[in-house]
């Protein structure tokens, strides 16, 4: 590809990660960015991710080949009017929102369909902001493209090739279908996780025994409750019709589970868990998904001074970075007393080899 100019409106977790991926794979591309947060722009400039930091949407966005709308979903539509002076025939205007219907409706209202291809990289983290962005966040992640009805095929093909070149996996979908799918596999789990955490908080004992005894299984399925409240507020409102319908169906599923237990229908209870286990185990592990995968191992260590430091030294001396480490006090759902989390699968695999070489007992999940 020839050198191109890329514009970003917003440099949070996703916008920052895409910008870093472009800088990584295309170091000669020019990147300009606007963000309300001046510290974010300063950091992006300091790290040489962007060439031009904009405090408003101005003429720096002229002659862009792509403009990525990466603000919270509720704000992206409001920027469309401001971008009108900078649209040209070859421009591809896109977004990264988890909900596609509202922005497609606004694009149609403004007559911008020939420029617009909705985008949704199915990757993320419970952490937000540019500080947590990284160039490999979208690697091997599905990257949904939702073209408008009037989007030229040449633009769809070009954007598809661009996404592939960033090592993501493009998939073209109708935007209505996209919102139904993400409502079920992304939006519902976040609502369930937040509701479950709040339920435990509200029903905990006065000395917070539930909080302190919460096992790894509980923490695993509620980890996404740490996601940005602002982002999820926008998503719930933007996709409210799909989410409401999906919640109705899910509530019925919970009622059915309660009835099975109340009536002691042991065979049906067994089938419920057996079917879920089989379906869950059939899901591919080879690609990233909407909910960020985490990479951790559990390790048996002696209860003695310096035990954790020894492991940290082994890994650090071999250039393996640790994301998080902690003692597991409730091992209802995991073996091993020490939990070590890594940033990526490569680091995890290397750590397993190193620690086994030093005769540590390792449990992988």
Q: Is position 15 within any domain? A: yes
- In the structure, what pLDDT confidence band is assigned to residue 110 with cuts at 50, 70 and 90? very high
Whether the predicted pLDDT of 330 surpasses 60? no
In this structure, which long-range contacts are made by residues 219-224, counting pairs with CB atoms below 8 Å and at least 24 apart in sequence? 220/333, 221/193, 221/196, 222/193, 222/196, 222/197, 223/126, 223/193, 223/294, 224/126, 224/189, 224/190, 224/193, 224/291
As a whole number, mean pLDDT of residues 252-264 equals: 97
Give dist(CA 192, CA 310) in Å, integer. Answer: 39
Q: The domain that contains 316 carries what CATH number?
A: 3.30.2130.10
- In the structure, what pLDDT confidence band is assigned to residue 136 with cuts at 50, 70 and 90? confident
Average of per-residue pLDDT values in the chain:
89
pLDDT at 335: 47
pLDDT more than 90, % of the chain:
63
Q: Is position 207 within any domain? A: yes
Q: Are residues 159 and 192 in the same domain?
A: no
Q: Are residues 224 and 299 in the same domain?
A: no
pLDDT at 181: 95
Q: Are residues 266 and 322 in the same domain?
A: no
Q: Are residues 246 and 121 in the same domain?
A: no
Are the C-beta atoms of 291 and 303 separated by less than 8 Å? Answer: no
Lowest mean per-residue pLDDT among 78-92, 281-295, 314-328, 346-360 = 281-295
Q: What are 54-78's pLDDT values in tens digits?
A: 999 999 999 999 999 998 777 888 8
As a whole number, mean pLDDT of residues 76-101 equals: 94
Q: The domain that contains 166 carries what CATH number?
A: 3.40.50.720
Whether the predicted pLDDT of 361 surpasses 70? yes
Q: Is position 288 within any domain? A: no
Q: Is position 20 within any domain? A: yes
Q: Is position 289 within any domain? A: no
Q: Are residues 220 and 250 in the same domain?
A: yes
Q: Is position 160 within any domain? A: yes
Q: The domain that contains 192 carries what CATH number?
A: 1.10.3660.10
Q: Provide the domain limits for residue 273.
A: 179-281
Q: Are residues 263 and 342 in the same domain?
A: no
| Boundary of a domain, candidates 174, 206, 231 | 174
**pTM for the model:** 0.75
| Boundary of a domain, candidates 224, 256, 281 | 281
As a whole number, mean pLDDT of residues 340-364 equals: 87
pLDDT at 24: 94
Residue bearing tokens 């982002």: 231
Q: Is position 290 within any domain? A: no
Q: Are residues 201 and 240 in the same domain?
A: yes
Whether the predicted pLDDT of 224 surpasses 60? yes
Q: Is position 132 within any domain? A: yes
Q: Are residues 208 and 245 in the same domain?
A: yes
The total number of structural domains that make up the chain: 3
Q: What are 275-311's pLDDT values in tens digits?
A: 999 998 887 765 455 455 668 888 877 767 788 889 9
| Boundary of a domain, candidates 230, 250, 281 | 281
Give dist(CA 239, CA 183) in Å, integer. Answer: 7
User: What's the order of all strands across the beta sheet hosting 116-121?
Assistant: 52-54, 30-34, 5-9, 66-69, 92-95, 116-121, 142-147, 169-172
């Amino acid at each position: 590809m020839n050198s191109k100019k890329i514009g970003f409106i917003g440099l949070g977790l996703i916008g920052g990660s895409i910008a870093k991926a472009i800088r990584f794979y295309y170091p000669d591309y020019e990147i300009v960015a606007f963000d309300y947060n001046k510290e974010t722009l300063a950091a992006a400039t300091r790290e040489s991710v962007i060439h031009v930091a904009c405090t408003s949407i101005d003429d720096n966005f002229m002659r862009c080949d792509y403009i990525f709308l990466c603000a919270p979903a509720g704000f992206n539509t409001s920027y469309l009017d401001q971008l009108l002076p900078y649209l040209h025939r070859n421009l591809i205007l896109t977004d990264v929102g988890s909900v596609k219907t509202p922005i497609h409706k606004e694009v149609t209202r403004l007559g911008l369909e020939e420029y617009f291809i909705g985008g949704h990289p199915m990757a993320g983290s419970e952490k937000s902001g540019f500080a947590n962005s990284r160039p490999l966040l979208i690697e091997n992640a599905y990257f949904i493209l939702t073209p408008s009805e009037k989007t030229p095929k040449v633009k769809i093909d070009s954007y598809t090739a661009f996404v592939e070149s960033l090592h993501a996996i493009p998939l073209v979908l109708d935007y209505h279908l996209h919102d139904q799918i993400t409502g079920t596999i992304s939006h519902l789990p976040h609502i369930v996780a937040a509701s479950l955490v709040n339920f435990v908080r509200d029903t905990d004992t006065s000395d917070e025994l539930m909080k302190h005894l919460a096992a790894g299984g509980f923490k695993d399925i509620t980890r996404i409750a740490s996601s940005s409240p602002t982002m999820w507020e926008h998503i719930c409102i933007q996709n409210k019709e799909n989410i409401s319908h999906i919640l109705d169906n899910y509530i019925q599923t919970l009622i059915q589970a309660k009835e099975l237990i109340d009536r002691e229908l042991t065979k049906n209870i067994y089938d419920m868990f057996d079917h879920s286990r089989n379906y869950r185990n059939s899901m591919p592990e080879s690609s990233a998904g909407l909910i960020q995968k985490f990479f951790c191992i559990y390790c048996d260590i002696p209860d003695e001074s310096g035990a954790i430091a020894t492991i940290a030294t082994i890994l650090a001396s071999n250039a393996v970075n640790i994301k998080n480490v902690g003692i597991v006090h409730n091992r209802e759902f995991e073996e091993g007393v020490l939990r070590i989390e890594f940033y990526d699968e490569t680091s995890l695999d290397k750590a397993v080899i190193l620690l086994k070489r030093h005769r540590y007992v390792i449990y992988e999940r």
